[in-house]
Amino acid sequence: MITASALGSFALIVGLLTLTPGLDTALILRTAALGCRRRAWGVVLGIQSGTLLWGVLSSLGVTAVLTASHLAYAILRWAGAAYLVWMGSRILLPTLRRRSRADTARSDAADEPDTPEGADSFARGWRRGTMTNLLNPKVGAFYMAVLPQLIPAGAPHLMTGTLLAGVHILLATLWSGVLIAFAGALRGALRRPSARRILDRISGTAIAGFGIHLALDS
């Protein structure tokens, strides 16, 4: 079974990783700041669903393909980059056009206008969070690099890896709750169309920027 020292080391690593601002932070803050609380929690649990799957696959050795095969890593990297640039562009581009107050109000639910659910939909958030996580090969590479070093010889890989992923999920979910609560304080200011455009420009640029960085990363 995994030792307390190994469990503590992993908790420290993923705790620092969780606190570091990144794509997940930008996605959660923007969704929650717009008042979409259910969708924000959908994003959080979608991201953690992806984390759990990466942990399970790493425990089974499946993600070794990413580190051993340049082609497999490159395909996933380019798919993830394209998805992030597309998502960031959908948020950013509408803010670059002059629109009336009514147009701005209607755009609050326009991230995915082709879906039948309301703007504050848990399912939409979960899909977005899951896709964002699973299309990021760096998450898989991280788990492949860390988990094998912490699983003791003779220990059941699947159970131990799932336990470690559960620690990551717990810490990330707690921190996400703090982010959602903080973003709730911004809702009043974001009722102004100008403030909403500024938020969308910042978050859209950040998300698309993560995609470009992923594409250019070797």
Q: Domain of 156?
A: 4-77+100-192
pLDDT for position 1: 67
pLDDT for position 183: 87
The answer to whether the beta carbons of residues 128 and 122 sit under 8 Å apart is no
* Residue 134 token pair: 């699973």
pLDDT for position 98: 53
Distance CA 27, CA 33 (A): 10
Q: Is residue 50 part of a domain?
A: yes
- Cα 130 to Cα 54, 98, 100, 126, 191: the distances in Å are 11, 33, 34, 6, 28
Q: Is residue 82 part of a domain?
A: no
pLDDT for position 132: 93
Nearest alpha carbon to residue 208 among 100, 48, 88: 88
pLDDT for position 108: 46
Q: Is residue 206 part of a domain?
A: no
* Residue 207 token pair: 């998300």
Q: What is the pLDDT of residues 134-180, one digit of tens each?
A: 998 888 888 888 887 887 777 788 888 899 999 999 999 999 999 99
Give 3-state DSSP helix, strand, coil % of the chain, rounded to 5. Answer: 80, 0, 20
The pTM for the full model equals 0.81
Q: What is the pLDDT of residues 90-105, one digit of tens each?
A: 888 888 875 544 444 4
Nearest alpha carbon to residue 186 among 39, 36, 45, 44: 36
Q: Is residue 127 part of a domain?
A: yes
pLDDT for position 49: 97
Q: Is residue 86 part of a domain?
A: no
Identify the segments of the chain with pLDDT beneath 50: 100-118
Vertex 36, ends 205 and 111: CA angle to 5°?
Answer: 45
Q: Is residue 185 part of a domain?
A: yes
3 Cβ contact partners less than 8 Å away, ≥ 6 residues apart: 152
The answer to whether the beta carbons of residues 63 and 57 sit under 8 Å apart is yes
Q: Is residue 16 part of a domain?
A: yes
Total domain count for the chain?
1
Q: Is residue 215 part of a domain?
A: no
Distance CA 207, CA 22 (A): 9
